Structure 1
Amino acid sequence: MALAIGVGVFAAGLSEGHAAAKAVEGIARNPEAAPVITRTMIIGQAITESNSIYALVVALVIWLFL
């Protein structure tokens, strides 16, 4: 079960960190665009985080029914 969650969450964690780093770079270059960049980053991270939730659900289903 831990392997299923770990594999599912690994890519999500990497992509969320990458998105946050690029958002900070964008805000550093153009501080006036901070609200738009932040809003877009949060929406993107929420969509990415849904993959982690799906991995957790699949791992729990595997654990409970197999």
Structure 2
Amino acid sequence: MSRALIIAGIVLILAGLLGNVLKTFPFGRLPGDIVIHKKNITFYAPLMTSLFLSLAASAVLWFLSKR
């Protein structure tokens, strides 16, 4: 049980560090992302960001499967 908690903690720390690094890249503000601002509501649909990340993950997994 303690090994699982340590691994989960390390994964969370790495995710936090990765999130800080990715803030410098324009992810989430790509052309094709939909942002609608109304009086008290903001709707955000990151369509192109999701597509880009999906294609990147697919390419990485395809490359790793060919090795």
Question: TM-score range with shorter-chain normalisation?
Answer: 0.3 to 0.5
More strand by share: 2
TM-score by length of 1: 0.41
Q: Which has the higher helix share?
A: 1
User: More relative contact order in 1 or in 2 (CA 8 Å, sep 6+)?
Assistant: 1
Q: TM-score, normalized by length of structure 2? A: 0.41
